[in-house]
Structure 1
Amino acid sequence: MKKILGLLLITIILSCSDKDDDAFVYPKESTVQNFMWQGLNLWYFWQADAPNLGDDRFATNDDYVDYLESYTDPEEFFYQTCYNHSNVVGSSSAIDRFSFVEDDYETLVNSLSGVTKSNGLEFGLARNEGSTDLFGYVRYIIPNSNASTKDIARGDIFTRVNGVQLTDSNYISLLFGNSDTYTLGMADISGTVVTDNDKEVTLTKSAGLQEDPILVAKTVEVNGTKIAYLMYNGFTSSYNEQLNTVFGQFKSAGATELVLDLRYNPGGSVNSSRLLASMVYGTNTSELYVRQRWNDKIQSMLNKEQLEDYFANKTDSGTALNSLNLSKVYILATGSSASASELVMNGLAPYVNVFHIGETTRGKNEFSVTMVDDIDNDYIYRSDRENKINPSNRWAMQPLMGRNENSEGFSDYTSGLTPDVALAEDLADLGILGDVDEPLFARAIQEITGVTAKRDFSVKIPVNEVSNSKMFTAIKDNMYLDKPVDITFQ
């Protein structure tokens, strides 16, 4: 038996009598495909349902090699091998919408820590109904980035990149292609019409930009009620201590209500979601937050303690958690709110009145783990084993491995979590994040105070979003498991 300690995402204790790797011989040219198949066959959530991942799929070694060699592109191999994946042609109602691969594991691992190559411009892409032309709108600017030094701000509109109109067919190459520098052609909104203007803004991406997910944290007093507001844009584990400090500040300010703004938060660390939920609700470590559901191979090997995550009373560094001990929380969430954002909402629901303002969320209820070609660790990435990764294969997978259900057993929100108050962002009036007059925050304040605002909450230009900048980072809308788990394969 091998004992492996200090794992970044998963800890495993193995006896290797069930190594499928020993069953097949494969050519060097299929090294990446073999890594992908072996890892998916063991860990993938839908392994039993995927036609090409069955334990008895290949009668002979030649059959296996033929399958590996049938795809020369590893990315295509991955998506075709997964179960009914959205990247596969014809899978419009895909079961697996979120598993993905990255051709360099370091890029993915850095993204999990919030480190990316970026110019600091966070934006959404939208279209006018019936048109293939797109326009971008600035959501926010990451502090200390290239964009933070330029004349561009939240609410600004752009329609062109390097003089070319953005469309359905070219926006990926123009905004997320190989060039690190591009020039945006700006535009104005008049009524409901987007009109180009002569202003241009040139931005340059740089490596190593680390985004603090805590964009805005403040306490405001409205009609005698102290309301904490937190704009939190990613569940990044390296910022858990800072998050706890913010809640300490809320407590010191006497906040009795919380507006948690997750409108642009695509997810991240499961453990960070557990800590945040504890800061909202309480630190009773005997109360269940979420429970994991793995594939049949893995589920049967885990005990109750391994499968269940309880509310926390301290950070991973041992700092006592600052909790507001709320019975109700107001959450701003949209279609860009996914995975760990939804997990907080679902995990809190049995204990707290979660009042959701915004739009239906993304509907991502599965977690994943980073996988690399480290056969002796059953392909699970661990930071202190990078010298054990096959040097001829830098590919990484982030396949869905399971689902998280709340203490009542609910996890069926693949269609998203619907709001209590439906309110889309208005491109004609995005407002200032954290300002009491910003529409979504203002609507939450109205709900908290019971005082009907004189303002009009009608939306002139609702966001008809096509995509956004976070979907083109390596982490995308991933929810990754970072809880140590011990598994023994018999």
Structure 2
Amino acid sequence: MKKLIPIFILLFMLSCSKDNELDIPGTINPNSDQVQTQDFMWKAMNFWYFWQADVTDLADDRFQDSETYTAFLASESDPGAFFDNKLLFTEDRFSFYNEDYRVLTQSLAGISKSNGLEFGLVRKRDSEDVFGYVRYIIPNSDAATKTIKRGDLFTGVNGQTLNINNYISLLFSDNDTYTLNMADFVNNDVVQNDVEVTLTKQEALAENPVFLAKSFEINGIKIGYLMYNQFTNEYDDDLYDAIADLKIAGISEFIIDLRYNPGGSVNTTRLLASMIYDTNTSNLFLRKRYNDKVQVQLSTSQLEVYFADKVGSRTITSLDLSKLYVLTSASSASASELLINSLEPYIDVVHIGDVTRGKNEFSTTLVDDRDNSYLYTPSRTNNINSNNEWAIQPLLGRNENADGFSDFTSGLVPDIELKEDYGNLGIIGDIDEPLLARALQEIIGATGKRDFTVKNPIELLSSSKMYSPFKDKMIDDTHYNSTVSFQ
């Protein structure tokens, strides 16, 4: 597995020492068993958090003596509750934590404990009942060996009907095995049948995000299609190969399907944008904006990220497109939105589908490595405090495109709105699948030949990916050398 690269591929050179962190008079010993995790969380958030200036308890002058500071740390015995209740800004929807940094970092690499079933959840009309619909099956998973497929519906787990109050405990508990009670779509209603499917999670299931890449020719136009389900830097070579094959196929139009892509690596997003548009390294891809503490310590070159001309040692041969068709849903988030936003100044992005999630902040993994600015660095795992394996994934900033735009907290609105229909999901990559068919109609200029009325629009309640450790994160892993210090 490739290394996960933290916020700046560093070497960060600290001016602080363990005995003088953040200048809190008489700061407690960070190895104190009772509050060492809370101490790590506060200090890391005080320096890095995007909204540090907006959280009263993160102010530099909040604590005047060690007794007051220690009492604050001890006010929540559970570090998770301390993080959620004491450190987060009210508008923050996405910062999170994990008790084990290994679990968190593996999830960012596309590795998790999973049965391989990816699904969405919908609340029934005028009811508290909930049903699920299968989006896709991860290859080589337990679900791939069972009789279950995209478009299948389920209404219960272990004989209990799903509802707004129990779906989390039934579907996302620590139980490795559960049985789904399947359903049919009958007379515009989801009705349970007698079919049951038992699924078991497996350790370290790796999902290749390049789910499907293909090309086809319609009316003499060669069109490429890619369903891409996570911006995971471990699979950059697979992404490179998929785009290179489409280039060889001679495509002149390209549809990228990001409906189920919750985000991921900023650098992978930059690489994909370069493969699609251009490899001119003078073209600005994004500009970063941190809190004032961090921002003033970084130069313009460290805040600006440009298009790329290589993936590792491999030269990118761009598709050189002037137009891109992007398919989205309410689950398309963070790096998926970044791709759209950062390409907008350069090419015509035709956005088809549903309004995206609205995740316009980036994050990185912070651990209790005090000699490394708390930044998780794979080569330094031996330097992480062995008595504190917690990791936090706070929001650190926002990425602006070349036009200075980053304000899409409410999501990116499609040019052509077309929600998925749980009664007619279609087959991924099939030219009759509704969203793909709508993009093809736009490309070939055909009109009036198909009715795209959505009879059963998906109003998403949640999805399986929202309960994975990865969730909907945009991970800042662009490459810099920098000197950053606690001040």
TM-score (ref. length: structure 1): 0.95
- 1:80 alignment counterpart: 85
**How far has the Cα of 1:460 moved from its partner?**
1.2
- Matching of residue 182 in structure 1 with residue 185 in structure 2: no
Q: Distance in 1 between matches of 2:339 and 2:431?
A: 24
Query: Which residue identity does 2:43 align to in structure 1?
Result: Q
Q: CA deviation at 1:97?
A: 0.7
* Cα distance between partner residues in 1 of 2:477 and 2:382: 21
Alignment partner of 1:379 is 2:382: no
Residues in 2 aligned to 1:117 and 1:194: alpha-carbon distance in whole angstroms: 29
Structure 1 residue aligned with 2:15: 15
Q: Does residue 70 of structure 1 match 2:75?
A: yes
**Equivalent residue number for residue 47 of structure 1:** 52
Deviation of the 1:322 alpha carbon: 2.8
Within a 5 Å distance, the mapping from 1:393-472 to structure 2 comes to 393-452=388-447, 454-472=449-467
Structure 1 residues 58-107: Cα deviation after superposition (integer angstroms, max 9, x where no partner) = 1211111111111111111101233434xxxxxxxxx1110001111100
Does residue 243 of the first structure (1) align with residue 217 of the second (2)? no
2:138, 2:197 → 1: CA distance?
A: 16
In structure 2, C-alpha distance between the alignment counterparts of 1:231 and 1:192, rounded to whole Å: 29
Secondary structure of the residue aligned to 1:29 is coil
Q: Tell me which amino acid in the other structure corresponds to 1:119.
A: N
Please state whether the residue corresponding to 1:151 is helix, strand or coil. coil
Identify the match of residue 209 of structure 2 among 179, 204, 213: 213
Structure 2 residue identity aligned to 1:16: C
User: 1:155 & 1:117 partners in 2: Cα distance?
Assistant: 23
Task: Return the alpha-carbon distance in structure 2 between the equivalents of residues 100 and 235 of structure 1.
Answer: 19
Q: Which runs of 5+ in 1 are unaligned?
A: 86-94
Alignment match, 1:256: 252
Contact 2:328 2:353 in 1 (8 A): yes
The within-5 A match list for 1:18-29 is: 19-20=21-22, 23=25, 24-26=27-29, 27-29=32-34
The one-letter code of the counterpart of 2:16 is C
Q: Which residue identity does 1:15 align to in structure 2?
A: S
Query: How do residues 218-237 of structure 1 correspond to structure 2 at under 5 angstroms?
Result: 218-237=214-233
Q: In structure 2, what is the equivalent of residue 265 of structure 1?
A: 261
- Given that residues 153 and 183 in structure 2 are in contact (C-alpha distance below 8 angstroms), is that contact kept between their aligned partners in structure 1? yes
Q: Which residue of structure 2 aligns with residue 304 of structure 1?
A: 300
Range 384-393 or range 146-155, more displaced: 384-393
Alignment of 1:327-366 (within 5 A): 327-366=322-361
1:488 positional shift: 3.2
Shift of 1:9: 4.1
CA positional deviation for 1:38: 0.5
Using the alignment, how far apart are the partners of 2:72 and 2:224 within structure 1? 56
Q: Do the aligned partners of 2:330 and 2:355 also contact (CA within 8 Å) in 1?
A: yes
Offset of residue 379 of structure 1: 1.0
Alignment match of 2:163 (pick from 164, 167, 175) = 167
- Could you tell me how far apart the structure 1 residues matched to 2:115 and 2:224 are? 30
CA deviation map 1:333-382 (0-9, x unaligned): 11100000000000000001110000111111100010111111121111
8 Å CA contact 1:21, 1:38 repeated in 2: no
1:417 and 1:464 map into 2 onto residues whose CA distance is 16
**How far did 1:453 drift?**
5.2
Contact 2:24/2:64 (CA < 8 Å) preserved in 1? no
Amino acid corresponding to residue 337 of structure 2 in structure 1: E
Distance 1:405 1:474, change over 3 A: same
Contact 1:138/1:156 (8 A) holds in 2: yes
Q: Which residue of 1 aligns with 2:365?
A: 370
The change in CA–CA distance for 1:243 and 1:390 in structure 2 (over 3 A counts) is same
Question: 3-state DSSP class of the match of 1:217?
Answer: strand
Distance 2:209 2:4 in 1: 25
Query: Would the aligned equivalents of 1:370 and 1:397 in 2 still touch at CA under 8 Å?
Result: yes
Structure 2 stretches of 5 or more lacking a match?
A: none
Instruction: Assess if the C-alpha contact under 8 Å between 2:123 and 2:164 holds in 1.
Output: no
Report if aligned partners of 2:4, 2:105 keep a CA contact under 8 Å in 1.
Answer: no
Alignment: residue pair count = 476
Superposed structure 1 runs of 4+ greater than 2 Å apart = 5-10, 81-85, 487-490
Moved more, 145-154 or 459-468: 459-468
CA contact (8 A) 1:147 1:203 kept: yes
**Match of 2:315?**
320
Q: Which amino acid aligns with 2:323?
A: K
Of 467, 476, 480, which residue of structure 1 is paired with 2:475? 480
d(CA) in 1 for partners of 2:193, 2:426: 21
Q: CA deviation at 1:127?
A: 1.1
The alignment's TM-score, normalised by the length of structure 2, stands at 0.96
Say which is worse superposed, 387-396 or 438-447, in terms of deviation: 387-396
Structure 1 residue 19 displacement after superposition: 2.5
CA apart distance, 1:6: 10
Deviation at residue 178 of structure 1 after TM alignment = 1.3
The answer on whether the counterparts of 2:24 and 2:63 sit within 8 Å (CA) in structure 1 is: no
Give the aligned residue type for 1:392: N
One-letter code of the match for 2:193?
Answer: N
Contact 1:188 1:195 in 2 (8 A): yes
Q: What SS is found at the alignment partner of 1:215?
A: strand
| AA at the equivalent of 1:335 | A
Q: Which amino acid counterpart does residue 487 of structure 1 have in structure 2?
A: T
Give 3-state SS (helix, strand or coil) of 1:34's partner: helix
Distance 1:434 1:21, change over 3 A: farther
**Structure-2 residue corresponding to 1:38:** 43
> What is the root-mean-square deviation in Å for CA atoms of aligned residues?
1.4
Contact 1:126 1:466 in 2 (8 A): yes
Structure 2 distance, partners of 1:193, 1:252, is 46
Q: Residue 417 of structure 1 aligns to a residue in which SS?
A: coil
Identity over aligned pairs, percent: 55
